[in-house]
Amino acid sequence: MSLHEGAANLLEVRGLTKIFGSLKACDSIDLGIAKGEIHALLGENGAGKSTLVKMLFGSLEPHSGEILWNGQSVRITNPGVAKKLGIGMVFQHFSLFEALTAAENIALSLDDGAPISTIAAKARALSYSYGLPLDPEALVGDLSVGERQRIEIIRCLLQTPDLIILDEPTSVLTPQEADKLFETLERLRSEGKSILYISHRLEEVKRMCDRATVLRHGKVVGHCNPREETASSLARMMVGSEVRTVERPPAEGMNKAESLLEIVNLNRRPATPFSIPLKNINLSVRAGEVVGIAGVAGNGQGEFFEAVSGEVLQQDKASVRIRGKQVGGLDITGRRLLGAAFVPEERLGHGAAPRMKLSENLLLSRHATDGKAFVGTAGMIEGKAIYSAAQRIIEVMDVRKSAPDPEAASLSGGNLQKFIVGRELDRKPSVMIVNQPTWGVDAGAAAHIRQALIELARNGSAVLVISQDLDELFEISDAIAVMHDGELSQKLPIAEATYEKIGLLMGGAEPGHAATAHATETAEVA
């Protein structure tokens, strides 16, 4: 018997059910969370994890079932009730106002009338004491997703909850930030707090969690002690079958292939006091090649994506070249028309319009480039053609959903990401630039997306992947460059890259130092 099996449950759930249309997103779920445990909630994309925790936080009302808090039956009709009971939540999709500062956002949810300066001071002190430093005066709109998540975590901790629900907290954090978060969670556990932890990163579940409950298609399919499992046995439990491994076939003759994406002396002044200037960036991505960009969040990756995608134009037209054409002055549509495709970091609002159907989202992003495929002879939009293109993407990417053509916002996070990546892959772009391709995506679906990116490259496209997930970059890249403080290192062929070397560059080491570290490491191995 594990330590927590006999302990009193802080929260207990009996037969909890939620139905959307004809879909039972949660189907008679039983779950117990003991005091002072970190309990993992596992399941593939669309398994029902977010739906379950939204019912626990009062953002969704169950159709049936019961929730017990400290042994008492409770009705959690809204988040205010949850907070009063002592349930705090860190959401997967951010719920912060971009035009407000971190402190103002926190003040809004605390709702205790304290002056903003007091709240800012408290937030700063708490963030430093838990090793997740934040600047309360910073405008949220200027922060990276990793930094925004830190605000969400601190906002939750300021409410001193007994149960903290974290929905994929590390998917946007760097390894170092994630380590800090783990220390924070261990400290909270030692203070007697309970944590319900949703993550697709099975290694961290093994490292952190005392127990796990596994959901599949809305039902509980198993409980386990993650420490006694392997990452692949956990993945098998979630998916119900073996998870495929990603294969990166050798890129034949790539060194002689044409450079389809070139960045030449790219500079960008900071648009706001909080954004990072880009300093003389040079990079080329050849046909057939996958290049990864590693880096700690907030080192200019967002500014770089904006400049390369055309969300922000460059005065120096020659600083971005797609298939040999100088495109610095072209907007995103102009660059798409040359065969480029872009997947931004934020999927809701930026990658997809939340309240539009998947087929409408497809039309929105592709009308300029593929308009002819969707417009009939009389100039009318061909609903059927758009619908069937959306269905093709849904099928290829195995997007799980509750209706044939649902609104983007109703998809689970990972399923929406699969749709957005699939929508761009479907155009067979000659240049593909993706920022965080598998953020919040389960192990099986992440392997699917990564394999698709490699295949796109091997079929002759240039693929550039910006990611905070080093394992991902090592799995798919032919070369990795590191972004630090707005500067990009030279790209290292994957055969020469090591975690240590990349880690040092991410921390700001001079390339010479990283090379020395590599030489020392090689010597030690020899």
Ligand X SMILES: Nc1ncnc2c1ncn2[C@@H]1O[C@H](COP(=O)(O)OP(=O)(O)OP(=O)(O)O)[C@@H](O)[C@H]1O
Helices (H) and strands (E) counted in the chain, each on its own, are 17, 21
- Provide the minimum distance between the beta carbon of 2 and ligand X in the complex, in angstroms, as a whole number: 24
User: What is the closest distance, in whole angstroms, from the C-beta atom of residue 49 to ligand X in the complex?
Assistant: 4
* Paired sense of beta strands 38-42 and 64-69, if any: unpaired
Closer by beta carbon to ligand X, 440 or else 503: 440
* Cβ neighbours around 159 below 10 Å, total: 18
Of 49 and 150, the one with the shorter C-beta distance to ligand X is: 49
CA pseudo-torsion sign 174, 177, 183, 185: negative
Does position 436 bind ligand X by CB under 6 A?
no
- Give the residue with the Cβ less far from ligand X, 429 or 444: 444
**Tokens (6 digits) for 512:** 């010479």
Closest CA to 68 of 87, 51, 49, 50: 87
- Residue 160 buriedness (CB in 10 A; 0-12 / 13-18 / 19+): exposed
Site membership for ligand X, residue 25 (CB under 6 A): yes
**Residue 354 binding ligand X, by CB under 6 A:** no
By the rule CB under 6 A, 49 interacts with ligand X: yes
Q: Minimal distance in Å, beta carbon 413 to ligand X?
A: 4
Q: Does 503 bind ligand X (CB under 6 A)?
A: no
Binding mask 386-425 for ligand X (x = CB under 6 A): --------------xxx-------xxxxxx----------
Closer by beta carbon to ligand X, 124 or else 200: 200
Going by C-alpha positions, the residue among 44, 45, 7 that lies closest to residue 419 is 45
Q: In the complex, what is the shortest distance from the CB of residue 218 to ligand X, in angstroms, rounded to a whole number?
A: 7
Is 357 among the residues that bind ligand X (CB under 6 A)? no
Q: Are 487 and 280 in contact (CB under 8 A)?
A: yes
The verdict on 295 binding ligand X (CB under 6 A) reads: no
Q: Write out the two tokens for 11.
A: 């929260």
Structure tokens at 169: 């907290």
Q: Shortest approach of ligand X to residue 232 CB, angstroms?
A: 18
* Residue 39: partners with Cβ closer than 8 Å, 6 or more residues away: 4, 33, 194, 195, 196, 197, 209, 210, 211, 212, 213
Give the DSSP letter of residue 245. Answer: P
Q: Are 213 and 42 contacting, i.e. CB atoms less than 8 angstroms apart?
A: yes
47 interacts with ligand X by CB under 6 A:
yes
Identify whether the C-beta of residue 359 lies closer than 8 Å to the C-beta of residue 403: no
Residue 470 to residue 500: CA distance in whole angstroms: 11
Which residues, numbered 437-456, are part of the site for ligand X (CB under 6 A)? Answer: 440, 442
Distances (CA, A) of 42 to 55, 168, 228, 238, 485: 17, 10, 15, 7, 36
Min CB(54)–ligand X separation in Å? 8
User: Does 194 contact ligand X by CB under 6 A?
Assistant: no
Q: Does 48 bind ligand X (CB under 6 A)?
A: yes
Q: Which of 12, 16, 32, 50 binds ligand X (CB under 6 A)?
A: 50
> Segment near ligand X (CB under 6 A), from 40-48, 109-117, 138-146, 286-294?
40-48
Tell me how far, at minimum, the Cβ of 397 lies from ligand X, in Å: 13
Among 2, 19, 20, 122, binds ligand X (CB under 6 A): 20
Q: CB under 6 A: which stretch of 44-52, 107-115, 242-250, 373-381 binds ligand X?
A: 44-52
Considering the complex, what minimum distance in angstroms separates the CB of residue 167 from ligand X? 7
Q: Would you tell me which residues interact with ligand X (CB under 6 A)?
A: 20, 23, 25, 43, 45-51, 400-402, 410-415, 440, 442
